[in-house]
Amino acid sequence: TARSSASSDVDGDPDVVLAACGDVPTLEVLAAADILRRELPDLHVRVVNVVDLMRLQPAEEHPHGLPDRDFDTLFTTGRPIVFAFHGYPRAVHQVVHGRSRPGRFHVRGFSEQGTTTTPFDMVVLNDMDRFHLVCDVIDRVPGLSARAADVRRAMADKRAEHKRYIDVHGDDMPEIRNWKWS
């Protein structure tokens, strides 16, 4: 497990942790962090990229597991965690069982939605896209939903715009296909 990006408030903890495991989820988490950075610059977001899912287990449960202290340093002991995963969400919940307040983990992952469509539409259909992740952050950070209602609405508008675009063009929007970390 490695920290990809971090900014923190005075006490060292971010307001929220965005985490990902898998290449597509990591791309979507980074894109969500980019949107949050632009739209809500006062929000402190930590991004954690999980390369080995077994690192999330306690050290006494798995040889790759992280000691509680290291886990808490990455994920905090009290902040909400929005986690994008390339598998079934329940798997993440199982490996964080026994950690500090595991109910803080809100996991987006594969929900067997979609058919032959565009790559980004598959993540939209499984509610794991950048726009859903931004909304998850807004919904879970205490006090944020009221002051970020316009951002939340804009994310719903982007999902609708995406749907209209792929219905007409059969491909993902250029801003999605060509997105790069700035």
How many CB atoms lie under 10 A from the CB of residue 156? 12
Q: Inform me whether the pLDDT recorded for 10 exceeds 80.
A: no
Tokens of 147: 């002051």
When the pLDDT of each residue in the chain is averaged and rounded to a whole number, the result is 91
Q: Which amino acid is at 176?
A: I
Starting at the earlier edge strand, list the strands of the sheet with 16-21. 2-6, 45-49, 16-21, 81-85, 105-108
Task: Report the pLDDT averaged over residues 62-68.
Answer: 94
Task: Report the pLDDT averaged over residues 37-59.
Answer: 96
What percent of the chain has a predicted confidence (pLDDT) above 90?
Answer: 84
pLDDT of res. 117: 86
pLDDT of res. 114: 66
d(CA 18, CA 135): 12
Q: Inform me whether the pLDDT recorded for 5 exceeds 90.
A: no
Counted residue by residue, the chain has a size of: 182
Output phi, psi for 87, to 5 deg: -130, -155
